[in-house]
Structure 1
Amino acid sequence: MTNSSFFCPVYSNLEPFPYFFYLIFLVGIIGSCFAAWAFKKNTTNHKCISIYLINLLTVDFLLTLALPVKITVDLGVAPWKLRIFHCQVTACLIYINMYLSIIFLAFVSIDRYLQLTHSYKIYRIQEPGFAKMISTVVWLMVLLLMVPNMVIPIRDIEEKLNVGCMEFKREFGRNWHLLTNFISLAIFLNFSGIILISNFLVIRQLYRNKDNENYPNVKRALTNILLVTTAYIICFVPYHIVRIPYTLSQTEVISDCATRISLFKAKEATLLLAVSNLCFDPILYYHLSQAFRLTVTETFASHKEMKTKDEKSSCENNA
């Protein structure tokens, strides 16, 4: 594997991907910090959906820690030890973010459907205590799957430019990496099914109410759900279409050099789409969390009122 990787420049010429990742990082860190401030300012008891969104925000902060390292490595300016650190730690953080995001978005979709249908028979799963418990279980499950990729011992290789993360792994590490990929794909398929089915049921329920007097609100809710569903598909589906053939190229099941290079570029492009959810999540918080929305609205309203008063006072003084 090392010899063929040396002769096949799979991991070279990464531009312009690092610059797009950098743009996503800037927009994402600003949005995430603002969202954290808004959630912290709201001191009321959090409902289930707010608990899931706070977990989603926590996951986003993990991604903001990982992206600067990836950008530095992709630009080719990272020292050798940082490249090893990226392969062992920060690359795994990106995938932890991806699959925790998918799972918590599924929980948000389920909770939204249950709120709309008032399903009292299963009311207990809408209690904050249940949301905290299931969130803890999800974190433990994903970390148990991903963390071994960080801690399994790697092998020493000669320092060189064109090196991929798989080359650092020993046989057991490669096998665990393959297992992780297939389990991750199963997570994606199952929870994507939950998201799409839940959103379809919500849309159907809202569409039934299109003739009542609250139609403008129903239309707005329908538009929001369709936009969220479309954004989810654009962010995560392309990556998972590419991931399995790309993984096969990493293990040289696919050994043709041109094909491997094409699959790597496709993986980077679709990974770019996947991490762009970092930019969309603050918009999601605003539309789905009433507490978050009220905090933002009240803050901007108070700033606008203060500005109006200052302008009025200035005009009176000038007069």
Structure 2
Amino acid sequence: MHFHIHTISSNVYQNKDRTTELDLVQAKEAEKEYNIPYSTHRFGVLYTVTKPELEQHHRVMASMNVSQGNSSKCDFDKSVTSVVFPCLYSLLFLAALVLNLLAAWIFFQIPSTSTFLVYLKNVVAADLLMTFTVLVKVLNDLGVGSWRLRAFYCRYSAVLFYATMYISILLLGLISLDRYLKIVHPLGKSVLQKVGFGQGLSAAVWVVMFSLALPNTVLSNKEPIQSSKLNCMDMKNKAGLEWHEGFNYFCQVLFWCTLVLMVFCYTFISRKVYESIQASHSSSSTRTRQTKAKVFIVVVVFFICFAPFHFVRVPYTLTQTRNANSCWVKYQLYIAKKTALWLCATNICLDPLIYIFLCRMFRRKLTATLRRKPLPLGSAEYRTETSTRLEMSSVVHNKHIATEVERNIND
């Protein structure tokens, strides 16, 4: 907007077709409305503003007021989520800390003699890191500490949380593939089942995910607002917002591809297990149910923990990186995302179920630890026959087939 300055008498008004002269009183009003310093007009300096410019200015101001009104409505009440979820995460942290420290201690004593054990150990490491990020999240949500804690959470802890979460997702997919190869194709041992390959593949998963997550830290380089209401997205520059959105899309593809892989693997695994049960003429419904539970424990944990979050993540991310059309929709997605994210975090407590159900050596070491008794020497042969034994010992007909499937399910 252009302002034409004239020095004239303070009480002079000049009526023109396209202009209106403002006297000193009006200039004071202009100072408030147009943010013009009073020192520029207090000695009879008047401003000439064309009528179209005034009309345009009022339209702009009106639209700004509307947008400000809408944004204020979007400042929805977070008092419930700021109380409920910190409590849930606190319980989760305490349980996960005990379970994962115990799991790490037990796995530390078991040699990595199979790809299955390699993947499980990497899952434990990812879960342990994720557990410590949960503690930072609890402190941040409770408002403990200064704005610096909030900035640390946004720049580092939250990034590590998501990176370790997707590392766990990929490792669960690799475990499913390993089970498929062991059960469905038990006669040939491919390169995918070699310990060295499993270690290299696990290392590649860590490197790739941390490399892709690192820009979310680097590009969160804006000076944080010194307030407890600091929004993590406010710390990202334009490139950071774009990377954040692109990274989320990549993670979506990663999740759904892993889910498809697991469905494929366990479809064939379940068919093989069914054939072995039929061949063994097992009449025990209890043992059959136990077998099915052990076979599908990985799929159940995976779907319960991660599927809900990936249904809501893309819509929620769009409300973060772009203008939301509706504050009500934004609030609903906020609640859905908070709830689904907590379900994701429960994975750090549910993964130990996989160790107990599927890894016989882990189960035996755990039992010995709880009883404070060392394992018998004969049982300490660190063979990697990880469990899900189908318990078909009562069969006579085609017993060899059932036994082989039983052993292979256990890695």
Q: TM range, normalised to the smaller chain?
A: 0.7 to 0.9
SS in structure 1 of the partner of residue 324 of structure 2: coil
C-alpha distance 258-76 of structure 1, shift in aligned 2 (>3 A): farther
Which residue of structure 2 lines up, in the alignment, with residue 276 of structure 1?
346
Deviation at 1:300, TM superposition (A): 4.0
> Please, which of 293, 315, 337 is the counterpart of residue 245 of structure 1?
315
CA distance in structure 1 between the aligned counterparts of 2:213 and 2:281, rounded to whole angstroms: 46
Q: Tell me if structure 2 keeps the 8 A contact 1:12–1:162.
A: no
Q: Tell me if structure 1 keeps the 8 A contact 2:155–2:220.
A: no
C-alpha distance 45-74 of structure 1, shift in aligned 2 (>3 A): closer
CA distance in structure 2 between the aligned counterparts of 1:45 and 1:106, rounded to whole angstroms: 19
- Which aligned pairs between 1:171-186 and structure 2 lie closer than 5 A? 171-186=238-253
Q: Tell me if structure 1 keeps the 8 A contact 2:368–2:374.
A: no
**1:190 maps onto 2:257 in alignment:** yes
Q: Deviations over 1:222-254 (max 9, x none)?
A: 122334322221110100001011001112342
- Which aligned pairs between 1:77-156 and structure 2 lie closer than 5 A? 77-121=144-188, 123-156=190-223
Which residue of structure 1 lines up, in the alignment, with residue 134 of structure 2?
67
C-alpha distance 10-135 of structure 1, shift in aligned 2 (>3 A): farther
Which residue of structure 2 lines up, in the alignment, with residue 317 of structure 1?
none
**1:26 maps onto 2:26 in alignment:** no
Q: Deviations over 1:14-35 (max 9, x none)?
A: 2201110111111111100110
Taking every aligned residue pair, what percent have the same amino acid on both sides? 30
Deviation at 1:102, TM superposition (A): 0.7
Q: Deviations over 1:244-289 (max 9, x none)?
A: 1100111234242222222111111000000101111111111222
CA distance in structure 1 between the aligned counterparts of 2:112 and 2:186, rounded to whole angstroms: 21
Which residue of structure 1 lines up, in the alignment, with residue 391 of structure 2?
none
**1:211 maps onto 2:278 in alignment:** yes
C-alpha distance 268-45 of structure 1, shift in aligned 2 (>3 A): closer
Which residue of structure 1 lines up, in the alignment, with residue 300 of structure 2?
230
CA distance in structure 1 between the aligned counterparts of 2:371 and 2:183, rounded to whole angstroms: 29
Deviation at 1:168, TM superposition (A): 1.1
Q: Tell me if structure 1 keeps the 8 A contact 2:115–2:195.
A: yes
Bigger relative CO (Cα 8 Å, ≥ 6 apart) = 1
Gaps of 5+ in 1: 306-319
CA distance in structure 2 between the aligned counterparts of 1:94 and 1:77, rounded to whole angstroms: 19
Q: Tell me if structure 1 keeps the 8 A contact 2:312–2:333.
A: yes
Q: Deviations over 1:179-218 (max 9, x none)?
A: 1000010100111111121122111110111224484666
Q: Deviations over 1:8-54 (max 9, x none)?
A: 32583222011101111111111001101111222x44211000000
CA distance in structure 2 between the aligned counterparts of 1:150 and 1:11, rounded to whole angstroms: 28
Q: Tell me if structure 1 keeps the 8 A contact 2:220–2:235.
A: no
CA distance in structure 2 between the aligned counterparts of 1:103 and 1:301, rounded to whole angstroms: 34
Which residue of structure 1 lines up, in the alignment, with residue 124 of structure 2?
57
Q: Tell me if structure 2 keeps the 8 A contact 1:155–1:170.
A: yes
CA distance in structure 1 between the aligned counterparts of 2:279 and 2:250, rounded to whole angstroms: 45
C-alpha distance 98-183 of structure 1, shift in aligned 2 (>3 A): same
Which residue of structure 2 lines up, in the alignment, with residue 8 of structure 1?
74
SS in structure 2 of the partner of residue 76 of structure 1: coil
Which residue of structure 1 lines up, in the alignment, with residue 41 of structure 2?
none
Give the partner amino acid of 2:225: E
CA distance in structure 1 between the aligned counterparts of 2:224 and 2:103, rounded to whole angstroms: 42
SS in structure 2 of the partner of residue 211 of structure 1: helix
Q: Tell me if structure 2 keeps the 8 A contact 1:5–1:162.
A: no
Give the partner amino acid of 1:104: L
Q: Tell me if structure 2 keeps the 8 A contact 1:285–1:292.
A: yes
SS in structure 2 of the partner of residue 199 of structure 1: helix
Q: Tell me if structure 1 keeps the 8 A contact 2:294–2:358.
A: no
Q: Which has the larger radius of gyration?
A: 2
C-alpha distance 255-77 of structure 1, shift in aligned 2 (>3 A): farther
Q: Deviations over 1:58-116 (max 9, x none)?
A: 00111111011111111122310110010011111111121111100011111111111
Q: Tell me if structure 2 keeps the 8 A contact 1:246–1:264.
A: yes
Q: Tell me if structure 1 keeps the 8 A contact 2:150–2:230.
A: no
Moved more, 223-232 or 174-183: 223-232
Q: Normalised by the size of structure 2, how large is the TM-score? A: 0.69
Q: Normalised by the size of structure 1, how large is the TM-score? A: 0.88
CA distance in structure 1 between the aligned counterparts of 2:273 and 2:189, rounded to whole angstroms: 21
Q: Tell me if structure 1 keeps the 8 A contact 2:146–2:228.
A: no
Give the partner amino acid of 2:249: F
Q: Tell me if structure 2 keeps the 8 A contact 1:10–1:264.
A: no
Root-mean-square deviation (CA, aligned residues, Å) is 2.3
Deviation at 1:149, TM superposition (A): 0.6
Q: Tell me if structure 2 keeps the 8 A contact 1:70–1:86.
A: yes
Which residue of structure 1 lines up, in the alignment, with residue 357 of structure 2?
287
SS in structure 2 of the partner of residue 210 of structure 1: helix
CA distance in structure 2 between the aligned counterparts of 1:241 and 1:52, rounded to whole angstroms: 27
Count the aligned residue pairs: 303
**1:299 maps onto 2:369 in alignment:** yes
SS in structure 2 of the partner of residue 238 of structure 1: helix
